[in-house]
Structure 1
């Protein structure tokens, strides 16, 4: 880490700025906008500083799916047996007990109220995805907007922020934090597209900016197995929050944790829903063989796929699964781009993959026996012609490690004491996936973004004397 360029931290008792706000938020993704909306509800003024011309970030590139227990949407679908405790147990089971317990408890308890608040007060109407279970979830708790895309989620959050009158300053690249000698944030400095520089004074700062998946040097150092992987995340994930933390003596956590995806369509560069794998689809290598249990999760699947010859696999499925896949906009875009190959027979599928038909036939026959395969997966049925195949590789989407925080989202120093008015959440902070790729439970990224933003807003509202108590 020491070989990485640092991010400037300037020491000053105060800043000369035309504008001073109670809260500055760096990053206009799901985390930053959720925090801003909750602050607005509490009567606390804030400004969101966003590096891009249009807020998007990792959220816009995701499927926009958020797991949450006990929501209005969940109860409306008759799912009454979920709870924060059950959700927390699923998170820890996927992470093999290596996720931070206090944060797991905090996020599990906060995400349901956060989604309900966004629905009741800001018009985000959640659907419960109840057609199948995502890997690691013991109950249907995955939520999405009707469009089922991260871009739609970002558009809804932006619309809500505009309606609430929240200032979102775009094309404002924050590069310097200003703290006094007592480690209190007093402002931030940022660059504008024309090269000019501006300063914003603040009473508190929330870093909701990014992870480090777009910083090739950090990826090589911290996630060497993904050094050559395709990056499906946002280029703004440059590790700024971690580098500021290093400069400040903040504690870092779980830097080996990340979300990979074993279903990155190539060469089109699109995401194919893992629902197809969960409902009976398979991944085959260039020899026509399965090479892992696909139901264990799409994150660790990235590593399995990259270990195959050429780092390539084929998602293979049949007509009923094609109908399921077409319910996801990302898949429809990939299909429109020519990613889906139709094969009328095993011989045609073998020709598509470039493998021996006899090997492929044996692989498909093993799915029809009704007994678990050698990797432990049991199939309810075999695949039937016509077959459909999509060429994929493994990709890195976003990192799960970052600044260590208390459950109230205040950043912690190396000795475990919190900075008074510096908070971090979402991609800037360590999440709840532990320190390895297999610890990622489906939806953990947006869980930490939305729940973290919600918690941070409550912390900031509680310290602001002008607040009301609606958040």
Structure 2
């Protein structure tokens, strides 16, 4: 059985600490008020707060952890968007319609198509929003489940999540948004007519606070770090590690449930195919997308590496011990800056030749050499005759050669609070809960049975902005 603990490797800890935000003057007392209270300072919450305050609202952003960023800090790959200036510059033909089709197919058509349409039609504007706020995602790659390259990331392939968090943190400071860390909301308040009217909770000293608000935006993330809750909805995940930040406990789902909110797709929990066994450290989708192949402990390739996460995960779990190795060379290392983190963390084995690499990872050298040679031959022929991979970037003719040992781990919870296309939270009967909005992983319906890599960052920025815009409209 896999360990349920999350180990903080030194480099990963450094990344998280780099994204910490301790703002001077962030306090709060009972009786405060704001136009909008945003609960949760991950990517969706930071986006919503920036958008709302830029539109003239007085915003208070609350975060229960001692830092901003949430799970967004750990996002590695990038943001899916179709029809961007960056795609056009590279001659990539894409459209929101194709992005929609890929997303619905990836989610096994369990997705709410209305929400998916909003996501795919507005994602390119999310790329522009990030650019305007200091986080330009100018490089375009390909992720699993995408028909064409559309995952946008920082130049040089740096991990996108931390890059975005650092930029949005700076914008929060520039706009002097009232950010209150270690403030945990325990209840969303309503008036006598059932309309949301504020929040109450406790601060780091255990003191109670309350804030009156005309609207509340729920951006508390999912429940991927709450292993009891994960197993409640999907018992077969007992014992898996998680890639999630500690704050991803599902608290916002409970807050919304207390008001009668409807939940959707709660049993849809994604495991990511490439995490470090026993540690829950995520290896970005970009490693496979930029050309790495997967082999098992016998040195044999066993899957199309660019299939959706659920399929690749199941294919890895079908191998001996549920273990696989990502195999790549210097060409990928030089083109994908995110890999340097894994070298610094000591997660990569290397060899000057394929045979030397095989000896480092305990795999039969002849078998691994044969797998790499066959892949290189097929790449040169222009067709993957074994697994029909349609994007073969590496020919593996030059070293050095590298391997990262991986196994699937709990990564994303697709289920959550039901919302409409205006991000208004819905109750069990489908009616709007007045003045309550939600965005990001706390919501359900966007990703269906399986989230495509790159759609989470698109989700949090796109719907975070819409939640802010709708909440501000309702103020007038």
State the partner residue of 1:113.
125
State the partner residue of 2:37.
24
Note closer, same or farther for the CA distance 1:455–1:155 as it changes in structure 2 (3 Å cut). Answer: same
Instruction: State yes or no: 1:425 paired with 2:439.
Output: yes
SS of 2:302 mapped into structure 1: coil
SS of 1:213 mapped into structure 2: coil
Q: Is the 8 A contact 1:54 1:170 kept in 2?
A: yes
Q: Is the 8 A contact 2:77 2:285 kept in 1?
A: no
Output aligned runs, 1:5-24, within 5 Å.
17-24=30-37
**In the alignment, which of 109, 112, 127 is matched to residue 97 of structure 1?**
109
SS of 1:114 mapped into structure 2: helix
Q: Is the 8 A contact 1:213 1:231 kept in 2?
A: yes
* Distance in structure 1 (CA, Å) of the matches to 2:239 and 2:361: 23
* Distance in structure 1 (CA, Å) of the matches to 2:129 and 2:181: 25
**In the alignment, which of 430, 455, 458 is matched to residue 416 of structure 1?**
430
Give a deviation string over 1:139-193, Cα, whole Å, max 9, x none: 4433334554322211111111111121111110112222235331122111112
Q: Which runs of 5+ in 1 are unaligned?
A: 1-15, 466-471
Q: Is the 8 A contact 1:145 1:153 kept in 2?
A: no
Deviation of 1:257 (Å) = 3.1
SS of 2:306 mapped into structure 1: helix
State the partner residue of 1:68.
81
Deviation of 1:362 (Å) = 4.1
State the partner residue of 2:146.
137
Deviation of 1:425 (Å) = 0.8
State the partner residue of 2:137.
127
* Distance in structure 2 (CA, Å) of the matches to 1:157 and 1:79: 30
Deviation of 1:25 (Å) = 0.7
Q: Is the 8 A contact 1:255 1:400 kept in 2?
A: yes
Q: Is the 8 A contact 2:197 2:435 kept in 1?
A: no
* Distance in structure 2 (CA, Å) of the matches to 1:81 and 1:114: 19
Q: Which runs of 5+ in 2 are unaligned?
A: 1-28
* Distance in structure 2 (CA, Å) of the matches to 1:61 and 1:162: 22
* Distance in structure 1 (CA, Å) of the matches to 2:120 and 2:368: 43
* Distance in structure 2 (CA, Å) of the matches to 1:381 and 1:168: 45
Q: Is the 8 A contact 1:110 1:455 kept in 2?
A: no
Note closer, same or farther for the CA distance 1:34–1:431 as it changes in structure 2 (3 Å cut). Answer: farther
SS of 1:294 mapped into structure 2: coil
Output aligned runs, 1:182-331, within 5 Å.
182-266=193-277, 270-298=281-309, 300-325=311-336, 327-328=337-338, 331=339
State the partner residue of 2:372.
364
Deviation of 1:43 (Å) = 0.8
State the partner residue of 1:348.
356
SS of 2:258 mapped into structure 1: helix
* Distance in structure 2 (CA, Å) of the matches to 1:340 and 1:286: 16
- Alpha-carbon RMSD across the aligned residues, in angstroms, is 2.6
Deviation of 1:207 (Å) = 0.6
Deviation of 1:71 (Å) = 4.1
**In the alignment, which of 393, 401, 416 is matched to residue 415 of structure 2?**
401
Deviation of 1:136 (Å) = 2.7
Deviation of 1:311 (Å) = 3.0
Note closer, same or farther for the CA distance 1:79–1:282 as it changes in structure 2 (3 Å cut). Answer: closer
SS of 1:189 mapped into structure 2: strand
Note closer, same or farther for the CA distance 1:74–1:45 as it changes in structure 2 (3 Å cut). Answer: farther
Deviates more, 1:182-191 or 1:266-275: 266-275
* Distance in structure 2 (CA, Å) of the matches to 1:303 and 1:246: 32
SS of 2:437 mapped into structure 1: strand
Instruction: State yes or no: 1:179 paired with 2:190.
Output: yes
State the partner residue of 2:5.
none
Note closer, same or farther for the CA distance 1:92–1:192 as it changes in structure 2 (3 Å cut). Answer: same
**What is the number of residues matched between the two proteins?**
440
Deviation of 1:72 (Å) = 5.0
Deviation of 1:346 (Å) = 4.4
Q: Is the 8 A contact 1:110 1:454 kept in 2?
A: no
SS of 1:210 mapped into structure 2: coil
TM-score by length of 2: 0.84
